[in-house]
Amino acid sequence: MSQDLYRDITDFAHTTPGWFQHIAELWTEAGLLLFGVLFIVGWWRARPAGSRAMALAVLAPLGTAFGYVVSELLKSVVDEERPCRAVLGAAPSLVTCPPYGDWSFPSNHSAIAGAAALALALAWRRIAWLTVPMALLMAFSRVFVGVHYPHDVATGLVLGAVAAVLFVTLLTRPTGALVRTMRLSRSGAVTWLAGPGPAVPEAATRGRRREAMHRRV
């Protein structure tokens, strides 16, 4: 099933114009760079916000890295040959087939894409309309250029996304506490990294405001 779909997609790839094939080849790597830019933008926009928002922005790239590690660990266990060598009768891959020992399952690119898409969406919900299609296109491009099976990229997307969400969810609270501590630091570099946002929990700030209003009454 996956081999047949792989043949269909790679056959289709060879019917597309050369410029489109070139874009697909570039996108398999350029997408990762664009995610990196979005991590920086997400951190910058969270600097004046509360500690939780900053924690989510900081954890987004770390959660993505965790998703990659989980994918790489699974890849080291499952020795699946690349389809560009294993599938008989398939069209040649558009890019050089990775060397023997660089296994196919799961797709690390897809795991990174899935992790980055969901981690960024947790930190910056409105960006999901961009990051999710980016991840799907990146995963598809790995099959399009001929270096992965469809099940490689599907597993990579889900694995990376789940790993990143769990990582970010579990570490948001302690990271938020760390951000609050950093914002109280006397070091200019530390406070610049943590941002000028409020150093105390927002809930505590609201509580103090209520107490002040009661005292005035």
**Nearest-CA neighbor of 39 among 127, 156, 110?**
127
Torsion sign (Cα): 138, 140, 144, 149: positive
Q: Select from 117, 184, 186, 130 the least CA-distant residue to 157.
A: 117
Report the chain's mean pLDDT, rounded to a whole number: 88
Q: Where are the alpha helices (DSSP H) in the chain?
A: 2-13, 18-46, 51-77, 83-86, 108-123, 128-144, 150-183, 188-194, 202-216
Instruction: Give tens-digit pLDDT for 36-86.
Output: 999 999 999 998 988 999 999 999 999 999 999 999 999 999 889 999 888
Provide mean pLDDT across the span 5-16. 92
CB 73 within 8 A of CB 150: no
* Percent of the chain surpassing pLDDT 70: 91
Peptide bond just before 83 cis, omega within 30 deg: no
pLDDT in tens, 163-215: 999 999 999 999 999 989 888 888 888 888 888 877 555 544 455 556 555 55
Q: What is the pTM of this model?
A: 0.84
